[in-house]
Amino acid sequence: MIRPNAQPLIRPSVASLHPYVPGEQPHGEGWIKLNTNENWFVAPGVLHAVAAAATSDLRRYPDAACSDLRTRLEARYGVPSARTICGNGSDEILTLLIRACAGEGDRIAYADPSYSLYETLAQIQNAAPVPVPMGPQWELPVDDLIAIDAPLTLVASPHAPSGTAFALADLERLAAGVTGVVAFDEAYVDFGGVSALAFIDRYPNVVVVRTMSKAFGLAGVRLGYAFGSAEVVDALYRIKDSYNVDRLAQVAGCAALDAWDEYAAVNRATVTRRDAVADTLRNRFGWHVWPSAANFVLATPENADAEVIALRLKEERILVRHFARPRLGRSLRISIGSGPEMDRFLDVLGSIVG
Ligand SMILES: Cc1ncc(COP(=O)(O)O)c(C=O)c1O
């Protein structure tokens, strides 16, 4: 269709955007999904609670403040509920932070490589993404991030996609050294990382972002939350959609927190299995595996093409994640599934690489 002298329909920063590419969600049965770091477990209590909540109440809007959920979060983490906000996945919390902290052209700094959504969200906002190279052993570039002193600094901690746990002292040095907001994205913290949560009482610029997608097995309902100073959290409330967390997600989140002990036991087993899988990849296949504090490992096959291995695994209905990006192209990120899933993965891998 010709539109002579018409103005562009889409903002240039959006028109030229490279959108975030999520991990594949396959259709059909029989897949072993080790590509998006989901939990392999859902507590039965969560399923019962969600089924019980599927009533005619669904015609009503949800609680805009997520009051029950925030009360439970306060009981669990000791952060006053006024300094907690819930979101439609932690992705929404990241979006809110970027909107609240960075205007057009403002810098958003993050360690690179990292969760690639950071860059996409910055571009959508027409802000200036500043990727800061990590060290050769995935060290957090604390001094470089401090030197940039961006209005918003994003740190996945433990780091994704390497799984590296950072030293608390480094995280604190960053929090103290940057004058803008520092968001610690602790999506994987329940699998062995250290938490920066205590910093929110010392540093008004610190926000800790969490998700229920990983340790609490709720990727499918989309639920995340953040803790921070009243000033920052209040700003996020002012810009969020009124009803950003739906009724069933709120119920699922409450039930998952009630099932804390069950999830803790399952996640401890995942950590043990992660370390065993890493050892097998190293000892049986000779792969390089980075130490991980998350529910995945980043592994580099020696003398084999990582992308080809991912494709061969997919032919056997096993998905792992390959990133065609600098520093990552020779590696695979492998989520830690159930025992039988990992046994099957290692068997099939053995038949592929010998
Ligand atoms: C580092 C990191 N942060 C945030 C997220 C998004 O989590 P959510 O499902 O809560 O949006 C992910 C998902 O993979 C992640 O890896």
Residue-wise pLDDT tens digits, 20-79: 989 999 999 999 999 999 999 999 999 999 999 999 999 999 999 999 999 999 999 999
Q: Which of 21, 91, 166, 216 to mutate to test the pocket of ligand 1 (most atoms within 8 A of CB)?
A: 91
- Alpha helix segments (H runs only) across 187-229: none
Ligand 1 midpoint to CA 150 (Å) = 22
What's the pLDDT score for residue 13?
84
Per-residue pLDDT averaged across 7-19, rounded? 89
- The tokens for 296 are 């995945």
pLDDT (average), residues 141-153? 98
Q: How far apart are CA 308 and CA 343, in angstroms?
A: 21
Question: What residues line ligand 1, using a CB cutoff of 6 Å?
Answer: 37, 89-91, 115, 156, 160, 185, 187, 211, 213, 219, 224
CA separation for the pair 190, 218 (Å, rounded):
14
What kind of fold does domain 44-258 have according to CATH? Aspartate Aminotransferase; domain 2 (3.40.640)
What pLDDT was estimated at residue 98?
Answer: 98
Q: Is the dihedral of CA 99, 104, 110, 116 positive or negative?
A: positive
CA of 177 to the centre of ligand 1 (A): 26
pLDDT of residue 128: 97
Q: What is the pLDDT of residue 145?
A: 98
| CA-91 nearest atom, ligand 1 | 11
Residue 97 to residue 334: CA distance in whole angstroms: 29
* One fold for 23-42+261-353 and 44-258: no
Which atom in ligand 1 lies closest to the alpha carbon of residue 37? 14
Question: What is the average pLDDT value for the chain, to the nearest integer?
Answer: 97
What is the C-alpha to C-alpha distance for residues 231 and 250, in angstroms, rounded to an integer?
24
For 190-236, the pLDDT digits (tens) are 999 899 999 999 999 999 999 999 999 999 999 999 999 999 999 99
Scanning the chain, the segments in alpha helix (DSSP H) are: 12-15, 44-53, 67-77, 90-101, 117-124, 142-148, 168-177, 230-239, 247-258, 260-283, 306-315, 339-353
- Residue 64's alpha-carbon distances to 84, 87, 163, 238, 245, in angstroms, are 13, 10, 34, 12, 7
Instruction: State how far the Cα of 276 lies from the Cα of 332, in Å rounded to an integer.
Output: 17
Query: Residue holding tokens 């792992």?
Result: 320
pTM of the model: 0.97
> What φ, ψ does residue 321 adopt, rounded to 5°?
-105, 125
- pLDDT value at residue 1: 74
Nearest atom within ligand 1 for CA of residue 92 = 11
Name the band, by pLDDT with cuts 50, 70 and 90, for residue 4: confident
Cβ proximity of 9 and 184 under 8 Å: no
End-to-end CA distance of the chain: 55
Mutate to test the pocket of ligand 1, among 110, 112, 115 (most ligand atoms within 8 A of CB): 115
Structural fold of domain 23-42+261-353: Aspartate Aminotransferase, domain 1 (3.90.1150)
Distance CA 122, CA 330 (A): 27
Ligand 1 nearest atom to the CA of residue 90, by list position: 10
Q: Tokens for 120, please give them.
A: 């996409």
Alpha helices in 81-224 (DSSP H): 90-101, 117-124, 142-148, 168-177
Residue 354 has pLDDT above 80, yes or no: no
Local structure of 28: helix, strand or coil: coil
pLDDT of residue 30: 93
Q: Domain limits of the chain?
A: 23-42+261-353, 44-258
Q: Pick the more confident residue, 303 or 313.
A: 313
In testing the pocket of ligand 1, which one of 90, 155, 189, 336 has its CB within 8 Å of the most ligand atoms?
A: 90
